[in-house]
Amino acid sequence: MTNSFPPLPLPNGISESYIPSHDLNYHILRAGNPTHPLIICLHGFPELAFSWRKIMPAIAAEGYHVIAYDQRGSGRTTGWDARSFTSVDLNSTTLTRLVRDAVILINALGYKNVACVLGHDLGAVVASMCALMRPDIFTSVIIISHPFKGSPVLPSNASNPHPPSPTQDIHSALAQLPSPRKHYKWYYSSATAAPEMDTKSELRQFLRGYFYLKSADWDGNHPHPLDSWSASELQKMPHYYIMPLKSSMREVVLHDMKREDISQVREQMAKWLNDEDLAVYVGEFERTGFQGMLNWYRVITSPQWMKDVELFAGKKIEIPLLFIGGEKDWGLYQEPGVLDAMNDVCTQLRGVELVGGAGHWVQQERPERVVELVANFLREVKRLQSTPRLPTLSPYPISQFSDSPLSIQPKLEIPHHKTPNRLKSSPAKRRQTTSS
């Protein structure tokens, strides 16, 4: 299919094209030889396939065909339900539908399986679901910035060591704080979120601020584990996660950015998101608006629209999984205990790597380090898959924070830590991933 969009400012080694299907017309970025094993990259919000540009050529050089695509609701992919908040069919944006999008594209590309699926932010949620639902297609998974909390746990009359906990009215509790607050995911699920962010005259300013505040460049990020899913604990997070009750996200970002020297901000961000790159995000969201991807939040915050995932209740991810996060990313801790619990919901957790000098946008802020971690993981998975039978340890981890190639370790204990980059082990096993 033809289109009238101008070409993106892509690094050498990446091309863009369109793949039609019986559902979507996918806008894809590709790097590497199409005869090589396939790697799929899934972006988050408010992002695009373009967010993977800094790591795609280097991963392709490891012997892979790397594909990133604008997911349903974003960018230059078309065919998704672009109707208004009140008219859109949210059945078109369920997690199973998003996994289906990936499966359809894989087949359209001529592949039957994927060497690895990488997902960042909301894309990490989709990547986790790909691994959970179709391990016959996706042979390994890397999730970035958004830990996997496990499949649904259904009510049962039988003895259950992990019974579902009653839903706390967290929204009422947040609203009753001395400084009333609200949770960003439920704000994003509201009818007012998209119109409030779609203000074109301030879109560049808003997106620059949003990317900056969630990066390691902003000195207001000091993430740490939270003790509980309670208003008193959640309010410790920055306003871009736990918002002032009466503010929009645009107002939150513009308010916090008033304290910053914009020339210094631009200079800092130029290392990983320069003005030309920022213009891509501004241009795409100015054209599409935000509602397409905000519909994802409407799904994941609504039990009604998450019922299809109950088909996989109690199931664990059983393919090799690596988690990567930025040391300055509050996203690791926004759901208390989830990072620690990944050992329980992933039978082949290979490691939890926190990257120094990175916030939420880790593959853009520290692309060289992310490429190193991805390449090491892919080599180890390839080596293990070449053996007659994979080891059966469950979980089957590596050192939690390691700058060296992946190596087999005893059972990983992800601690209930007070600081994110220490292990409950002897000093000889304590290694960090903060070096360049």
Domain extents in the chain: 15-152+302-429, 170-300
**From CA 173, how far away is CA 372, in angstroms rounded?**
43
Mean pLDDT computed over every residue of the chain: 89
Beta bridge partners of 40: 67, 117
- The per-residue pLDDT for 158 is 59
Q: Per CATH, the architecture of 15-152+302-429 is what?
A: 3-Layer(aba) Sandwich (3.40)
Query: 3-state SS of the chain: helix, strand, coil percent to 5?
Result: 35, 15, 50
pLDDT at 399 over 80: no
- The per-residue pLDDT for 153 is 84
- The per-residue pLDDT for 287 is 97
The model carries a pTM of 0.89
End-to-end CA distance of the chain: 43
Q: What is the pLDDT of residues 222-259, one digit of tens each?
A: 999 999 999 999 999 999 999 999 999 999 999 999 99
Q: Which of 23, 173, 182, 11 is closest to 107 using CA atoms?
A: 23
Give how far Cα 202 sits from Cα of 199, 282, 286, 291, Å: 6, 10, 10, 17
Q: What is the pLDDT of residues 43-98, one digit of tens each?
A: 999 999 999 999 999 999 999 999 999 999 999 999 999 999 999 999 999 999 99
- The per-residue pLDDT for 332 is 98
Q: What is the pLDDT of residues 356-394, one digit of tens each?
A: 999 999 999 999 999 999 999 999 999 988 876 655 444
- The per-residue pLDDT for 291 is 98
**From CA 144, how far away is CA 370, in angstroms rounded?**
10
